[in-house]
Structure 1
Amino acid sequence: MELQLLPLLLACSLFFPVTTPVAREITDPCASQTNDFQHLNSTGLHLTLHHPQSPCSPVPLPSDLPFSTVIAHDAARIARLTTNTPSVRPTSLHPDKNSGNLADSLAASVPLAPGTSIGVGNYITRLGLGTPATLYAMVVDTGSSLTWLQCSPCVVSCHRQTGPLYNPRASSTYASVPCSATQCGKLQAATLNPSACSTSDVCIYQASYGDGSFSVGYLSKDTVSFGSSSFPGFYYGCGQDNEGLFGRSAGLIGLARNKLSLLYQLAPSLGSSFSYCLPTSASAGYLSIGSSNPGQYSYTPLVSSSLDDSLYFIGIAGMSVGGSPLAVSSSDYSSLPTIIDSGTVITRLPTAVYDALSKALATAMSGAPRAPAYSILDTCFEGQVSKLHVPAVDMVFAGGATLKLAPGNVLIDVDDSTTCLAFAATDSTAIIGNTQQQTFSVVYDVAQSRIGFAAGGCS
């Protein structure tokens, strides 16, 4: 019986051209962005992290990507982060009869839940998979659990990616996962979609995202590697139908709080923590798994929420502009659950808090010419952030951890002549996005149930 995956109709697809490599001079401008950040600590894994629009990224997005596109995909991502209601779109797989025995059939079609939108805000690193190992450029996502990548023979569809597809037949340590395996039963929590079973008893995963993107394929295990460190028996998705807004990446690394995430699977060897510094497009950052200096950070506790226990929730306690606290009550800050997320670009604040922030910033910058609103960003100024005098803005979290925001963490350039406050109002769920996190070290200390912040992380 054939597997069939009814194609999901996507509103749009972003397939970005890869430029032909050009011979570089000895003074390679990207050489400084391949730092392994060993100065962080001698233990753990230290991976270079690239901004999605960095020219040094292995899979860069266009530098002239309209900011309206960023906002649109941000909205799709947030819609998923704030709801876990499944969709009713059915899926099934269809093999290529000439592709060999990896292709198999689903017993039935099932609904796909709309997972977190990948959008264009996620950062990029490299992961090695298989024996011998091959490196793949992967999206890093703290809002997703399952790690997956595109796999040959790609029986239905693969989006265009930089570099070759992962070939399970070329790895001596590859194994598919049977439907009876414990990990197969954990897919529902990891992806919000139930697992399915092929006619040859192979577990099938279905990861879907808020913008209509999705990956469907075989739950598998193989050796995952980062530099000289390798970890056998890593569970991941071997994608056979991968469609949507993944750029030219090979797939996605999931770092959410779930037993199938990369963090939890490596925890027995490295511990239950990871840290990162999200860089600007002009620099490089890092992703470090299992290594941090506790004394470096100021911490805020992780809090529980009924919204989604795989996400990272913290509490905002206060904000100030130019040293003056915003004119709102403490209950306004705590009125909504607050997620900290690596893939959302624009931070969402409770409406009362946002309104006070917008008013205070506009007053402090009264000498700067105002510009019209840009999409959801309604506090805008003429010029670029680097040319304007921007007041100090502090974000204080429960427990006293504070982000002292630089101008580039407060305003974001939306085009060549306009910069806007990189915050928006919400009445559902607040989100601390990546614009405010850029250049800070942020540690997710899951073992101690806390998030830590430190300045100067990417230097």
Structure 2
Amino acid sequence: MKRVKVGLWLWALVLFMGLCTTISSAAFLENRHRRKSTHPVPGTSSFELNRVGSSVVFPIHGNVYPIGFYNVTLNIGQPPKPYFLDPDTGSDLTWLQCDAPCVQCTETPHPLYRPSNDLVGCRDPLCIALHLPGTPKCDNPEQCDYEVEYADGGSSLGVLVKDAFYFNSTKGDQLKPRLALGCGYDQVPGSSHPLPLDGVLGLGRGKTSIVSQLHSQGLMRNVVGHCLSGRGGGFLFFGDNVYDSSRVDWTPMSSDYLKHYSPGSAELRFDGKPTGLKNLLTVFDSGSSYTYLTSQAYQTLTFLIKRELPRKVLREATDDQTLPLCWKGKRPFKRVSDVRKYFKPLALDFTTGGKTKTYELPPEAYLIVSSKGNVCLGILNGSEIGLQNSNIIGDISMQDKMVIYDNEKQMIGWASANCDKLPKTSSFSIGW
């Protein structure tokens, strides 16, 4: 894809903007059908605050099905404007579709982002980190070009800029750091329908992720977490004072896969019994609506599931194209609880240093009920979309759990939680 050199005309644009307003100084992503969701998620959480350090909390909107995606609202720019972003722990860079001007942009719920006059240089440490393990091509030393590509064929091409982000902390402070983000002036939609979002919120392990930048400025610990409700919505948080660490099951992040949140290899159990599937490289990825297994693991699991299902009650619904494998009953189902007794729980065992931590997957963590009233398997064959040896734990399998990525301790944690309500704080507020 041809890179557009935007240095001179971007500067001209922002100088013009400066006369009008006051301006201060990727990933695993599968084929998703996503639509905008803007329903509020009020209330409180069952987790107690430690009240140590600073955190920020955002309500999450959306669901796995039928909407097919989640989004959070961030306020960016001077003056701040709201943008809907796709929270993605599988990629680092945060980017907005950008009027610089835009060569190709998809539908957005808000006007295109107008870039600040603060370009990130090609030799800036953030630019260098973004291009690792390679090096950036410094055709124009004053700007940092980027291009991110996703597994469904979608991509974003642009330049890095710095701009003001606005956060309300759980301690009652208003944080206004200047952070690097991508000004995406050329977007190619993936094989799914174009996402009606303003951009992507990169929450990965790299230095360019928003949480890493906040940590480098001394504003909070390098911790990110999310709590997705099985009823839709939930919350996202940065920092470590919105959960009780003693109530969380922790396992080390793999040192072999530094780009992704991986607890390493797992053994899959079905109904409490070994399946023979071991050494499954596993990655947690909030950018994936569904869970993906390698071809061998997928074939084994679907065989086990089909073998246990009562054929007089459930039969395959080949006419339902919602997901590759669906079953119909004598009458339409309304919710997963209607059929959970026919499906067995799954579990992933992670063993490190002789200690095993188990990630439980009840039927609600891998089934959906389609619009036709059939029950469908939300675990897909990752080999069919080029995931090779990776097994992806997607949003469907993280519902009703608080999942935490502690980048400083290099640990991943999880705990069952009520994700319907925001964490209770005496000073927390949303909106501007």
TM, length-normalised to structure 1:
0.69
Q: Does 1:156 align with 2:103?
A: yes
Q: Does 1:262 align with 2:218?
A: no
State the distance in 2 between where 1:320 and 1:38 align.
Answer: 29
SS of the residue 2:396 aligns to: helix
Residue 205 of structure 1: how far off its partner (Å): 1.9
**Correspondences of 1:216-235 after superposition (within 5 Å):** 216-227=157-168, 229-235=174-180
**Correspondences of 1:18-97 after superposition (within 5 Å):** 30-31=39-40, 33-35=41-43, 41=49, 42=51, 43-52=54-63, 63=66
> What letter corresponds to residue 51 of structure 1 in structure 2?
G
State the distance in 1 between where 2:417 and 2:176 align.
Answer: 31
- Aligned-pair Cα RMSD in Å: 3.4
The change in CA–CA distance for 1:148 and 1:409 in structure 2 (over 3 A counts) is: same
* Alignment match of 2:227 (pick from 277, 284, 289): 277
> What letter corresponds to residue 313 of structure 1 in structure 2?
S
Cα contact 2:402–2:419 (8 A) shared by 1: yes
State the distance in 2 between where 1:360 and 1:255 align.
Answer: 35
Partner of residue 236, structure 1: 181
With CA pairs under 8 Å and 6+ residues apart, which has the higher RCO, 1 or 2? 2
The change in CA–CA distance for 1:234 and 1:48 in structure 2 (over 3 A counts) is: same
The change in CA–CA distance for 1:429 and 1:180 in structure 2 (over 3 A counts) is: closer
SS of the residue 1:275 aligns to: strand
Of stretches 215-224 and 37-46 in structure 1, the one that deviates more from structure 2 is 37-46
Partner of residue 180, structure 1: 123
Partner of residue 252, structure 1: 200
> What letter corresponds to residue 347 of structure 2 in structure 1?
M
SS of the residue 2:127 aligns to: helix
> What letter corresponds to residue 360 of structure 2 in structure 1?
K
Q: Does 1:286 align with 2:235?
A: yes
> What letter corresponds to residue 185 of structure 1 in structure 2?
I
The change in CA–CA distance for 1:185 and 1:338 in structure 2 (over 3 A counts) is: same
Residue 126 of structure 1: how far off its partner (Å): 0.9
Residue 421 of structure 1: how far off its partner (Å): 2.8
State the distance in 1 between where 2:181 and 2:220 align.
Answer: 18
Per-residue CA distance 1:340-369 (angstroms, 9 max, x = gap): 211223323355554554344334432532
Partner of residue 444, structure 1: 405
Residue 456 of structure 1: how far off its partner (Å): 2.2
**Count of equivalent residues:** 363
The change in CA–CA distance for 1:351 and 1:249 in structure 2 (over 3 A counts) is: closer
State the distance in 2 between where 1:434 and 1:15 align.
Answer: 13
Q: Any unmatched runs of 5+ in structure 1?
A: 6-11, 22-29, 55-62, 66-120
> What letter corresponds to residue 161 of structure 2 in structure 1?
S
Cα contact 1:147–1:252 (8 A) shared by 2: yes
Partner of residue 312, structure 1: 261
* Alignment match of 1:213 (pick from 154, 165, 175): 154
SS of the residue 1:362 aligns to: helix
Partner of residue 87, structure 2: 140
Residue 372 of structure 1: how far off its partner (Å): 4.4
Cα contact 2:115–2:161 (8 A) shared by 1: no
SS of the residue 1:295 aligns to: helix
Q: Any unmatched runs of 5+ in structure 2?
A: 7-30, 421-432
Q: Does 1:125 align with 2:72?
A: yes
State the distance in 2 between where 1:209 and 1:193 align.
Answer: 20
SS of the residue 1:158 aligns to: coil
Q: Does 1:395 align with 2:347?
A: yes
